[in-house]
């Protein structure tokens, strides 16, 4: 049974969902998600003997939502994870992240290998710091049409997602899934001038099998209450994160790692990804061979929970 409480993680109050006893496994969600995106992982991992904890990350759901952009920088988010591990009375944990949760997981492992005994990233591979600030680089590469550049303007994407929360989430969750025929050959999300992010994803005729109306109710209720500004501020820190992580440029991951992605995930279409993913184990020697899930889109652990659970349990058992 999943239980809920609030913990103080280095001064940030985080709402967490948890189940089970044993070695700690921390699950970090992405955008626009919640602890709830790990709903299919709790029981299997707990049954295998793990203490499974999924927070609403900073800015999301029932966790703290600081004002301003800067509090959502990557080092502060890593600090939340370390604070959470210690607040739970543990010295070490395995950290698993999806979407934006994946960079937080990878960097937590990179910066604090004494705390992280294993790390897994879903959708987003390990951190490779480019030679230019990303918002600037994407603006030049895609003439300002890349969706990060659309999001970086305060208030714009916030208003778009907030106009009809439930409809926007439905379009986003279906649009980026493997069930969207357009993702059979995934492409980088580019937003034409005068349009918005959700314009890329039409209203679906029906929900995909992995997403129920009750699931959508959970997401819609939480985002209606909390809004989207905190979550979107994660994107607005992309260039700041590039500066803050400069001391670790070229640093090697020291702990065992796992990467899982769907072959219909738009992230795999980002610049250089198709060349990067096959050679990840050569570039990161502590990383296992990537697990690529056929027919799976961006919402990895929700779309194909059995396959993800199998991969995670195999990885956890090897540590």
Quick check: 26 pLDDT over 90? yes
Q: What is the pLDDT of residue 217?
A: 98
Average pLDDT of every residue of the chain: 97
Contacts of 87 (CB under 8 A, 6+ apart): 7, 8, 9
Q: What residues act catalytically?
A: 99, 298
When pLDDT is cut at 50, 70 and 90, the band that residue 159 belongs to is very high
- pLDDT, average across residues 208-224: 98
Q: What is the pLDDT of residue 129?
A: 85
Q: What is the pLDDT of residue 130?
A: 86
Quick check: 182 pLDDT over 90? yes
Provide the whole-model pTM: 0.98
Angle 74-87/101-111 helices, nearest 10 degrees?
70
Is CATH 3.30.200.20 the right assignment for the domain spanning 3-318? no
- pLDDT, average across residues 258-284: 95
For residue range 38-63, list pLDDT tens digits in order.
999 999 999 999 999 999 999 999 99
Cα R_g (the chain), whole angstroms: 18
Quick check: 4 pLDDT over 90? yes
Please say whether the beta carbons of 120 and 257 come within 8 A: yes
Cα angle, residue 184 at apex, residues 180 and 187 outer, rounded to 5°? 90
When pLDDT is cut at 50, 70 and 90, the band that residue 295 belongs to is very high
Task: Write out the two tokens for 248.
Answer: 């670790």
Quick check: 127 pLDDT over 90? no
For residue range 218-270, list pLDDT tens digits in order.
999 999 999 999 999 999 999 999 999 999 999 999 999 999 999 999 999 99
Domain ranges in the chain are 3-318
């Amino acid at each position: 049974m999943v239980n809920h409480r609030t913990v103080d993680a280095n001064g940030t109050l985080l709402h967490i969902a948890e189940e089970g006893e044993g070695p700690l496994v921390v699950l970090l969600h992405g955008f626009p998600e919640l602890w709830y995106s790990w709903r299919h992982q709790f029981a299997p991992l707990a049954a295998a003997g793990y203490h499974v904890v999924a927070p609403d990350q900073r800015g999301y759901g029932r966790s703290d939502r600081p004002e301003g952009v800067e509090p959502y920088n990557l080092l502060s988010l890593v600090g939340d994870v370390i604070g959470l591990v210690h607040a739970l009375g543990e010295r070490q944990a395995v950290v698993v992240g999806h979407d934006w949760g994946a960079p937080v997981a990878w960097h937590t492992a990179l910066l604090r290998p004494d705390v992280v005994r294993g790390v897994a990233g879903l959708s987003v591979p390990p951190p490779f710091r480019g030679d230019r600030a990303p918002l600037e680089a994407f603006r030049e590469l895609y003439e300002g049409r890349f969706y990060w550049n659309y999001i970086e303007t305060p208030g714009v994407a916030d208003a778009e997602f907030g106009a009809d929360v439930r409809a926007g989430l439905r379009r986003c969750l279906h649009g980026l899934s493997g069930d969207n025929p357009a993702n059979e050959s995934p492409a980088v999300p580019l937003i034409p001038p005068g349009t918005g992010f959700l314009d890329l994803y039409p209203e679906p005729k029906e929900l995909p099998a992995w997403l129920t109306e009750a699931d959508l109710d959970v997401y819609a209720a939480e985002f209606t209450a909390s809004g989207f500004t905190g979550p979107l501020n994660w994107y607005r820190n992309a260039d700041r994160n590039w500066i803050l992580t400069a001391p670790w440029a070229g640093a090697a991951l020291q702990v065992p790692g796992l990467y899982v992605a769907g072959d219909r995930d738009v992230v795999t279409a980002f610049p250089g990804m198709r060349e990067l993913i096959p050679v990840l184990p050569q570039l990161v020697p502590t990383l296992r061979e990537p697990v690529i899930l056929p027919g799976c889109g961006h919402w990895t652990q929700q779309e194909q929970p059995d396959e993800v659970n199998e991969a995670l349990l195999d990885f956890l058992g090897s540590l």
